[in-house]
Amino acid sequence: MALDNAAKESNLRDSLKKYFVDSIQTAGGVPISFDRALSVPNLQDKNVDRWVNFVMGSVVFDSMSDIMFDLFICTRKDNEGYKLSQLRDKVLATLVDDTMEDGRRRITLYQSSPTQAWVSLGKLLVWDFVVSGDMVAPDETKFKVLTVVLKVAVKI
């Protein structure tokens, strides 16, 4: 039996990467990386003082599956955490949709491919999120962790 396309981690990861690159990096001008939690994106000739890191979490498979991930919202050279608060608001805005009656963002789930056009499989529903308090890393990076839960229908 083949794995349902909505349950494939490659499709989930690629779809979320596309969404956050489009909405945070391209539209918002904030670098995003998909590597380690607090590592600064490696950008040539650019001093980065704010960025977001995406870390994939667990997936609980069911007919309505849960996909969990963390967004590490990070700033440097931010004496009172003002830039951190602004960045938190910007990132949080990508997870809500005030045009929807329930306020929940729908993120397109694609069947991704390195050689063919991506095909829409449906939507990932932003179900819940929790924002941590302010934290400071040993290198003086200020950060918050935004834990997100998505729901998606999966054939099991």
**Entry pTM:** 0.90
What pLDDT is recorded for position 139? 87
CATH topology of domain 5-32+47-153: STM4215-like (3.30.2000)
What pLDDT is recorded for position 40? 66
Task: Tell me how far apart the alpha carbons of residues 12 and 61 are, in angstroms, rounded to a whole number.
Answer: 13
Low-confidence ranges of the chain (pLDDT < 70): 1, 37-45
pLDDT tens profile 9-45 = 889 999 999 999 999 999 999 999 987 766 666 655 6
Q: How many CA atoms lie within 13 A of 18 on its CB side?
A: 16
Q: Which residues, in sequence order, are CB contacts of 6 under 8 Å at separation 6+?
A: 65, 109, 121, 122, 152, 153, 154, 155
